[in-house]
Amino acid sequence: MSSDVIAIQTPEGAGRSWLEMLHAWVTTVDHKRLGILYILYALVFLVIGGIEAMIMRIQLMRPHNDFVGPQVFNRMFTMHGTTMIFFVAMPILFGFANYLVPLMIGARDMAFPRLNAFGFWLTALGGFLLYFSFVGGSGLYGAGNAPDVGWFAYAPLTSRAFSVGHSADYWTIALLVSGFGSISTAINIIATILCMRCPGMKLSRMPLLAWLNLVMAAMVILALSPLTAAQIMLSIDRYLGGHFFDTQAGGSATLWMHFFWIFGHPEVYVLIIPAFAFASEIIPVFSRKPIFGYPVMVAATICIGFIGLSVWAHHMFTIGMTSYSNSFFVFTTMAIAVPTGIKIFNWLGTMWGGKIQFKTPMLFCIGFLFQFLIAGLTGVMMSVAPFDWQLGNSYFVVAHFHYVIVGGILFCLFGAFYYWFPKITGRMLSETLGKLHFWLFAIGFHLTFDSMHIPGLLGMPRRIYTYEPGRGWEIWNLIETIGVFIQGIATLVFVANLVLSYFKGPEAGNDPWDAWTLEWSVSSPPPPYNFASIPTVASRRPLWDRKHSEDPDSRYE
Amino acid sequence: MGETTHKAGWQVIVSRAAGVLVLLAGVLLAAGLCTASTPHDNPVPTIFEPHSTPAESIQHLSHFVLAITGLIFLVVFSLLSYVVVKFRRRVGEAGREPAQVYGSTQIELAWTIIPILIVVVLFLATARVIHAIQDAPRPPEAVEVTAIGHQFWWEFRYPKLGIVTANELHVPVSDPAHPTPTFLKLLSADTDHSFWVPQLAGKTDLIPNRVNETWLDPHEAGIFLGQCAQYCGTQHAKMLLRVYVDGHEDFNAWVHAQQRPAHQDEKELGGKHVFETTACVNCHAVSGTNGTGRFGPGLTHLMSRRTIAAGAAENTPENLRLWIRNPDSVKPGSLMPAMKLSDAELDALVRYLETLR
């Protein structure tokens, strides 16, 4: 392996002043550094969004609690949702895509390095603007700081009649700005994957991670554009006398719903497809088998991408659409369960007959499989429109999408951290702390989100800052709150693991997991420009071919 | 014939699966049973104890869906558990790779086609219930109500009966032999709201500049609780809703009482004067006075309601006093301003309000 990879000595870091280091990071156009910036940025917001969740859970711990008032609570759920989707999940997944895609397809950088930096800094500005609302949202004038319109900001709550001051504007502009950032990154990912693959890497030999990120990027372009347009229309309403969503002047509240959800539902797939990508890399390596049914996995992903664009109105079953419209969206929503099911079965097929190693990345992926199964099935329940008339906007739906986002996406992300941290830093994360992290987080997750389904079935709507006693909701809310604190402790263990292992962890070497994709052929951390000489591949698992030259994959594909 | 056996088949699956297999359903059914209550008072608004036709058809459908998803869960969960236990790497096996299998067209076809068939069955069952609920014919005996969502209370108008009331909806029991369902036209005066009384029907949104509809068809007298289910602003949490399902005689008595003009008590003219000469009249209506405001709940028959402030407090003289003096102490963020009345004015006003039966 070392014959075609020459370690390039990094001049950076050695003998440089703190200011020069900072300057190098701020002005970087290197895909790996930008990837790390994205990830660190998202981790900071993960902690902020988590604290907001804890404030809400303390308030809801018992009925008629007065830990915070309605105004603060409403800001907390708005900020929590917006932060977690736009400033945690999206950037952290973009960060991994940025870091990994060029390495895995044998490229030296992204197609447009400067556009890449532009995208990151726009996203960063968006997050900053959102949180600047705490200061700039006209709180001093009694209009309230920070937006309190909910993360989907239904009209006409965002009109100037109901959202005085500037807090809603900060929300709008933050999403507009970060939306431009996301679209530019998506364009970059597509261009990189289509144009920068190393010799021999046909589309049919690309690692699944690259394939899934390609689909994700295409969906970002299609989904974020309507949201960005809607934000511009909302600003026109608020400042230029427009009436798109102004119901008092003949505007349409449902128009906003359609704009938002034609972004909002594909967005779920934008987030879960990269999580699938992590699982599709990690599960084979720790099962010691190639991914089961590679072509079907690719086809299922593309299928999810297409169908995912036609299901948005299942968020709107209660708005009084006709029975025919409702039936259409029931059908498309149920149909998406088919390719999603195929994926779960194919991961299962990958593990079947393997020799599974329960390293921390694999533990998180197995947790993901079990939890995503449940999340998918509660999703099928809610695709049944009449059932959704009961479950929609209740705590059941909150439990469902946290099962997807935490139980699915976040578990895969944690797996990805444990799996690629050695490549990114050159050091292993502690397995002991990792397992502690996994079990604590899993216990906290299940305490919180399993019990959260039940008050929804007992009639508890979401987004209420307090509730009446005697409705059978108390005990479940208390358990949820306890679970959140266990998740918080688990997250501290994770952060401690990141920090301690960064300084003290054992050396990782190039290929600590005995893996098969190109990123493991270079040093850890990879040298600038990744590959001294561009590799050539003959199969989907180039490193398997090198390690098993007597029986290479290229013979079977 | 085929249809009945089909249904019986469902019910067998349902009774076995819903209780035993489905993790969630099991827990919640247990929760539902623990909190089961008398038909007259339903403190837990659980969706699994429906008392009205649309909620019942949703429950039947949901049992079917829970049974199917429960079975899928059981099969896939078992497979996953089996794989995780069976295919662990064992001590001494290190070094040798397992057989490298790339896929299998037959198996992959199987786990594509079987889910497609399940989806088709689920879709047909769902479409039938959607049609049955959404396109239900409206019998001529139906009671008509216009529900208007406000920040943060409910206005109920009975156009044919000439009644306007707030927050507490009265509807008649509907006898299956002579159905008298209640059809609600849903409007909003400001932001989006959602009408949700889980034991009577699924939720339907009230959206400004749009007319929506829902209907209730309750089979049993009692009080059913619900609340606004679409975030509508600061006090979304305390926009509570209660539905009184009355027997026919009770309902008619209530209608007659509501149709009478406001009670005039010569002893409480002082309080009436306070009402008529302060800002109260801008938002609240009492028939026979100059109060015709519609921004807040009508007060003509205030004392016929058990709660005030959209269910945020019981309707007692102390609470009324507190509410008028400082609404934020009962419902922070509500649009009712503190009236800044003197103690004497407040006493007189509350005494007057207590006469509005």
Angle at which helices A431-457 and A474-504 pack, to 10 degrees?
A: 160
Task: Looking at the structure, tell me whether residues B333 and B293 fall in a common domain.
Answer: yes
Q: How many CB pairs under 8 A join A and B?
A: 294
Select from B43, B202, B207 the Cβ nearest to the Cβ of A254. Answer: B207
Are B116 and B23 members of one domain?
A: yes
User: Do both B228 and B280 map to the same domain?
Assistant: no
Select from A156, A355, A389 the Cβ nearest to the Cβ of B93: A355
Mutate to test the interface with B, among A314, A364, A384, A541 (most CBs of B within 10 A): A384
**Which amino acid, one-letter code, is at B29?**
L
In a domain, A13, yes or no: no
Distance of alpha carbon A334 from alpha carbon A383, whole angstroms: 6
Q: Which among A131, A175, A182 is positioned nearest to A153, based on CA atoms?
A: A175
A331 inside domain: yes
Is the CB of A471 inside 8 Å of chain B's CB atoms?
Answer: yes
Question: Residue A251: its chain B contacts at CB < 8 A?
Answer: 209
What does the pLDDT profile of chain A (557 residues) look like in tens digits?
444 444 444 555 556 789 999 999 999 999 999 999 999 999 999 999 999 999 999 999 999 999 999 999 999 999 999 999 999 999 999 999 999 999 999 999 999 999 999 999 999 999 999 999 988 776 556 556 889 999 999 999 999 999 988 899 999 999 999 999 999 999 999 999 999 999 999 999 999 999 999 999 999 999 999 999 999 999 999 999 999 999 999 999 999 999 999 999 999 999 999 999 999 999 999 999 999 999 999 999 999 999 999 999 999 999 999 999 999 999 999 999 999 999 999 999 999 999 999 999 999 999 999 999 999 999 999 999 999 999 999 999 999 999 999 999 999 999 999 999 999 999 999 999 999 999 999 999 999 999 999 999 999 999 999 999 999 999 999 999 999 999 999 999 999 999 999 999 999 999 999 999 999 999 999 999 999 999 999 999 999 999 998 889 888 87
Residue A383 is which amino acid?
A: S
The pLDDT score that the predictor gives to residue A143 is 58
Q: Is A503 exposed, middle or buried (0-12, 13-18, 19+ CB in 10 A)?
A: exposed
Whether B198 is covered by a domain: the verdict is: yes
What is the C-alpha to C-alpha distance for residues A456 and A453, in angstroms, rounded to an integer? 6
Alpha carbon of B123: minimum distance to chain A alpha carbons (Å)? 6
Give the closest of A70, A320, A385 to B130, CB-based.
A385
**Residue B97 maps to a domain:** no
Tell me the chain B residues in contact with residue A74 when contact means C-beta distances shorter than 8 Å: 231, 234, 236
CB A255 within 8 A of CB A311: no
Task: Tell me the pLDDT tens digit for each residue of A248-287.
Answer: 999 999 999 999 999 999 999 999 999 999 999 999 999 9
Asked if A338's CB is within 8 angstroms of B115's CB, the reply is yes
Same domain, B195 and B313: no
Task: Look at residue B254 and tell me if it is in a domain.
Answer: no
Q: Which CATH number characterizes residue A140's domain? A: 1.20.210.10
Look at residue A12 and tell me if it is in a domain. Answer: no
**Among residues 227-256 of chain A, which lie with CB inside 8 Å of chain B?**
247-248, 250-254
Chain B residue with minimum CA distance to A283: B84
Residue A6 lies in a domain: no
B210, B327: one domain: no
Instruction: Note whether residue A134 is domain-resident.
Output: yes
Distances (CA, A) of A163 to A118, A149, B232: 31, 8, 12
Could you tell me what percentage of chain A is helix, strand and coil, using 3-state DSSP and rounding each to the nearest 5? 70, 0, 30
pLDDT reported for residue A15:
65
CATH number of the domain enclosing B277? 2.60.40.420
Q: Are residues B300 and B202 in the same domain?
A: no
DSSP A50-61: HHHHHHHHHHTS
* Strand, helix or coil for residue B139: coil
Q: Of B249, B279, B296, which marks where a domain is finished?
A: B249
**Residues in chain B closer than 8 A to A394 (CB atoms):** 229
Domain that includes residue B181, residue range: 143-249
The total number of structural domains in chain B stands at: 3
Cα angle at A283 between A277 and A284, to 5 degrees? 100
Residue A251: the pLDDT is 94
Residue A1 lies in a domain: no
* B204 contact residues in A (CB cutoff 8 A): 318, 320, 389
B43-72 pLDDT, tens digit each: 899 999 999 999 999 999 999 999 999 999
Q: Would the CB atoms of B101 and A290 count as touching at under 8 Å?
A: yes
Domain boundary among B224, B249, B274: B249
**Is residue B127 domain-shared with residue B16, that is, in the same domain?**
yes
Same domain, B12 and B126: yes
Domain range spanning residue A371? 18-555
- Contact list in B for residue A342 (CB cut-off 8 A) is 108, 111-112, 115
DSSP for A320-338 reads ---HHHHHHHHHHHHHTHH
Provide the pLDDT for residue A555. Answer: 84
Same domain, residue pair B46 and B159: no
The number of domains in chain A is: 1
A65 contact B CB<8A? no
The reply to whether A381 touches chain B by the CB within 8 Å rule is: yes
Whether B240 and B154 map to the same domain: the answer is yes
In angstroms, the separation between the Cα of residue A356 and the nearest Cα of chain B is 5
Question: What value of ipTM does the predicted structure carry?
Answer: 0.92
- Do B243 and B270 lie in one domain? The reply is no
Write down the pLDDT at residue B9. Answer: 47
Q: Cα dist. B124→A335, B120, B131 in Å? A: 13, 6, 11
Domain annotation covers residue A67: yes
**Contact criterion met (CB < 8 Å) for B126 and A453:** no
Residue A411 and residue A368 in contact, taking contact as beta carbons nearer than 8 Å: yes
> Per the CB < 8 Å rule, is B208 touching A70?
no
Has residue A182 been placed in a domain? yes
Give chain B positions within 8 Å (CB) of A356. 83-84, 87-89
Cβ of B232 within 8 Å of Cβ of A465? The answer is no
